[in-house]
Structure 1
């Protein structure tokens, strides 16, 4: 095949029409999700400074959108998955470490939650340096639960999943 030739992808328009929501429908769904949001931190859920494995597992439910965030000094990246680990976003969403960036990220997450009929949102992040403080505080104050993830555990689970040490 010629390298410069372009592949055309067949698109099933009927299936896309089913998944598309009108702007008004999407806005209504986003309002419902926003009203039902309740934020928790791991610290609030702990009992006597310990968190039993079953308690962690029962915290995550089928109606939750799980968002993982890669923290940076100026730019953060988030991706969304469901409880079974299936990626729900087409790629990483990039946003700045400012309140405007946080608003954009929340809007992106809320739209994704509304499209996928998720009622709660959990943000998992690696606490690298001090750059995560502002994001975590802002998300909690806006109804999104935040959980810290051990960087070593993230590395180990990534290597188990795809047997690669690359960050992709």
Structure 2
């Protein structure tokens, strides 16, 4: 949750956009705790669209995809 990490994320986003030939970016964040707020504000300043997603829906979607309750997976 610092400038170096934020810049690293932005570079990764740009890399993916180039590799996949994409024009737009939308970052979805679970608004749990307070850790997402600084990144969200920073991304908006970088002209990246940020949306919040309901943690309950994320959990249900993940469980539907692989039927595991673990939070330590790549998803």
Fold match, TM over 0.5? yes
Aligned position for 1:166 = 70
SS in 1 for 2:4: helix
Q: CA deviation at 1:130?
A: 1.2
Aligned CA RMSD, in angstroms, stands at 0.8
Query: What is aligned with 2:61?
Result: 157
Once the two structures are superposed, the pairs formed by residues 49-60 of structure 1 within 5 Å of their partners are: none
TM-score by length of 2: 0.90
- In structure 1, the residue matched to 2:13 is 109
TM-aligned CA deviation for residue 154 of structure 1: 0.7
Deviation track 1:96-136 (CA, whole Å, cap 9, x = no partner) reads x0012101110111011111100001100101111111100
Distance 1:119 1:99 in 2: 24
Quote the Cα distance in structure 2 between the aligned partners of 1:133 and 1:166.
Answer: 24
- Unpaired runs of 5+ residues, structure 2, are none
Asked if 1:118 is matched to 2:12, the reply is no
Aligned match of 1:138: 42
Which 4+ runs in 1 deviate beyond 3 A?
Answer: none
Question: By percentage of residues, which structure has more strand?
Answer: 1
Aligned residues: 72
TM-score (norm 1): 0.42
Give the structure with the larger helix fraction.
2
Helix, strand or coil at the partner of 1:120: coil
* Correspondence for 1:129: 33
